[in-house]
Amino acid sequence: MLKEFTKGLIKENPVFIIVLGLCPALGVSTKVINSLGMGAGVIFVLLGSNIFVSLLKDFIPEKVRIPAYIVIIASFVTIVEMVMEAFIPALYDSLGVFVPLIVVNCIILGRAEAFANKNTIQASILDALGMGIGFTLALILIALVREVFGLGTITLFPIGSFSGVIEVPGLVDSPVRVFGLAAGALLVMGFLKALFTWIEDIRRVKQ
């Protein structure tokens, strides 16, 4: 049972191994905080849609299942949109168009179609958590590389006297700006994917 949870973290990581959900992964990963916010939104929607699809799998007719899944997913995305806009408007603004676009994140529809409509609720919850956390970890990794090199900072939540921004000495005065731009995102993604392929190859040879 626990395998359903851990598989999404690394072995079947949605971004680096299955290569789904690329648009938000690259679009919001300019700062670590944006990745955390996006990740939280996706985990919530994925959890909600997996639970509901798994509950309703015997009632949804085979032919209209995809539109039915889309309505379920869109409802949860609307909840995320409204909550984010009301409580964390700054994050909502910096994520921009990518918050409503969680609807078309292929990971969520993919898990509904490939997992939740065949499995029990418990398994679907674990699957959603694993995939969601795997997605968030991937986003944080991309954002760490891009923010440290592109801005020379690491932006987290402000807690108490801590402003939430860690400055990296040496890079903060003269950052490599291209990492923060569109081109940098695609290059970073290419090199990280190559790294994961390389690690995967080494592991396969060892076995």
**Which residues of this protein are in contact with other proteins, per CB under 8 A?**
19-20, 22-24, 26-27, 66-67, 70-71, 74-75, 77-78, 81-82, 97, 100-101, 103-104, 106, 109, 178, 181-187, 189-191, 193-195, 197-198, 201
- 138: exposed, middle or buried (Cβ count in 10 Å: 0-12, 13-18, 19+): buried
- 94: exposed, middle or buried (Cβ count in 10 Å: 0-12, 13-18, 19+): middle
The helix (H) or strand (E) run that includes residue 177 is none
Q: Name the residue nearer to other proteins (CB basis): 23 or 55.
A: 23
Contact 134, 9 (CB under 8 A): yes
- In which residue are the tokens 């674990």 written? 126
Q: Provide, rounded to whole angstroms, the least separation between the CB of residue 60 and other proteins.
A: 15
Q: Name the residue nearer to other proteins (CB basis): 157 or 191.
A: 191
Other C-beta atoms closer than 10 Å to the C-beta of 157 total 12
Q: Provide, rounded to whole angstroms, the least separation between the CB of residue 2 and other proteins.
A: 30
Q: Name the residue nearer to other proteins (CB basis): 25 or 33.
A: 25
Q: Provide, rounded to whole angstroms, the least separation between the CB of residue 18 and other proteins.
A: 11
Other C-beta atoms closer than 10 Å to the C-beta of 15 total 25
Q: Name the residue nearer to other proteins (CB basis): 118 or 177.
A: 177
Q: Name the residue nearer to other proteins (CB basis): 75 or 94.
A: 75
Q: Provide, rounded to whole angstroms, the least separation between the CB of residue 124 and other proteins.
A: 20
Contact 111, 46 (CB under 8 A): yes
Q: Provide, rounded to whole angstroms, the least separation between the CB of residue 9 and other proteins.
A: 20
